Structure 1
Amino acid sequence: MLLSLKDDHKQHISLLISQPTNVLQDFCRLALDYLRKGPTPKLYQTAAQKLDVQPEIIRNAVEGLVNLLVESCRHQLSDIDFHDTVLTLGFSEEHQETLESFYRGKKQEIYDVLSQLTLDQPHYHDLEWRFEVASRALQHQVTPLITMNLALETKTGLASDSTTTKNIVLQTDPTNLVHITQVLEEALQESRSQHSRRIQRSFK
């Protein structure tokens, strides 16, 4: 099968078509580094100066190459299919050999990254809570507590309705609950950041 990339990904990769083989090899290393650790703006700035383009263009090219490699692994392309896909994108035979060699050598590592990203983690299903206080005899020592029963669901098979539910009982005081809420809100804001969205788009 031939891999079909979105138009914007094709446009991002187009920068690499006109570059020498050694530059393409450098971009392959940048793509692998992106998969391992995320974007590295300093390296993109250096590459942009060498190629006399904007750093954003370098970053887009790296992300386009990441998408090509990830989608090829996701669809389990054979070396022949990967070869044909690369040629349809406009790369020369020399470039194709460079990309195919990189794909063949790093395929397992990319699979490992994908398996970590697609690992099905438990997700929220329901939450019950109640306030608890000590007896009247100990009112001078009372610290209100909140007891929560958190229900998490995990898929157990390919079917969307095949799940198991796990109940976790938690207990905390109001002050700590406020702190937990703040930390979760910060994490939610980070997930909506431009950096996080770029990474998420690379794996779609």
Structure 2
Amino acid sequence: MVIWTGVTGSLPQFLRKGTNPKIYEGAARKLSVDAETVQHGVEGLMYLLTESSKLMISEVDFQDSVLVLGFTEELNHLLQQLYLENRKEIRHILGELTPSLPHYHNLEWRLDVQLASRALRQQVKPTVTMKLHLEESGGDKSAKVLQTDPATLMHLIQELEKALAELKTTHCRRILRNIK
């Protein structure tokens, strides 16, 4: 754990800023290993702690996850202690770092058809114009105007329907269950 503190400083600081490669080199010299090995070890531990915190796994589940890694009993206990002490703060930091994405609010659409022109006497040229209203998490609203022809729109609809059908497959359900 002394090496961990020396390499990362503190867990929250590591999540927010990352680390300095010079620190890995110093820790590598003390341990008589390659700096890349130290870096991969720290990144692996951070991955373990962030994923465990994201999923809010219980003490028993965390212990089961760490047992597979083949560490000593004492190191397993120290990792569990580190996880329990920092999981709420890790979740808080991950929440701050998550980008705020706009979400659907409303959709207006219009079908424009050019029936004829002097240049194109026999062709009909339809266009679908959509105005997508989005809402930010802070309450700010914005609108995006999209324009396409009906053939492209039909292709997009078919692809979205395929994606929705894929969500209903047993393989996808199994994956979604494991994510939650």
What band does the TM-score fall into relative to the shorter chain?
0.5 to 0.7
Amino-acid identity (%): 36
Q: Pairwise mapping of residues 50-199 of structure 1 onto structure 2 (< 5 A)?
A: 50-122=30-102, 153-154=134-135, 165-167=141-143
TM-score, length-scaled by structure 2: 0.53
Structure 1 residue 48: deviation in Å? 0.8
Structure 1: unaligned runs, 5 residues or longer:
1-20, 124-150, 157-163, 169-204
Q: Distance in 2 between matches of 1:98 and 1:108?
A: 17
Go from structure 1 to structure 2 and tell me whether the alpha carbon gap of 1:167 and 1:119 turns closer, same or farther (over 3 Å shift).
Answer: same
1:42 is aligned to 22
User: Deviation at 1:121?
Assistant: 3.2
Report the TM-score, using the length of structure 1 for normalisation.
0.47
Cα offsets for 1:40-98 (capped at 9, x unmatched):
21211100111122212111111111100011011111011101111111112111110
Q: Is the Cα–Cα contact under 8 Å of residues 70 and 110 in structure 1 kept in the other structure?
A: yes
Unaligned runs of at least 5 residues, structure 2 = 104-131, 145-180
Give distance in 2, aligned partners of 1:61 and 1:32.
Answer: 17
Task: Mark the CA change 1:85 to 1:29 in structure 2 (over 3 Å): closer, same or farther.
Answer: farther
Contact kept, 8 Å, 2:7 with 2:24, in 1: the verdict is: no
Larger relative contact order, structure 1 or 2 (CA cutoff 8 Å, min sep 6):
1
Pair 1:87–1:95, CA change in 2 (3 A):
same
Q: Which has the greater radius of gyration?
A: 2
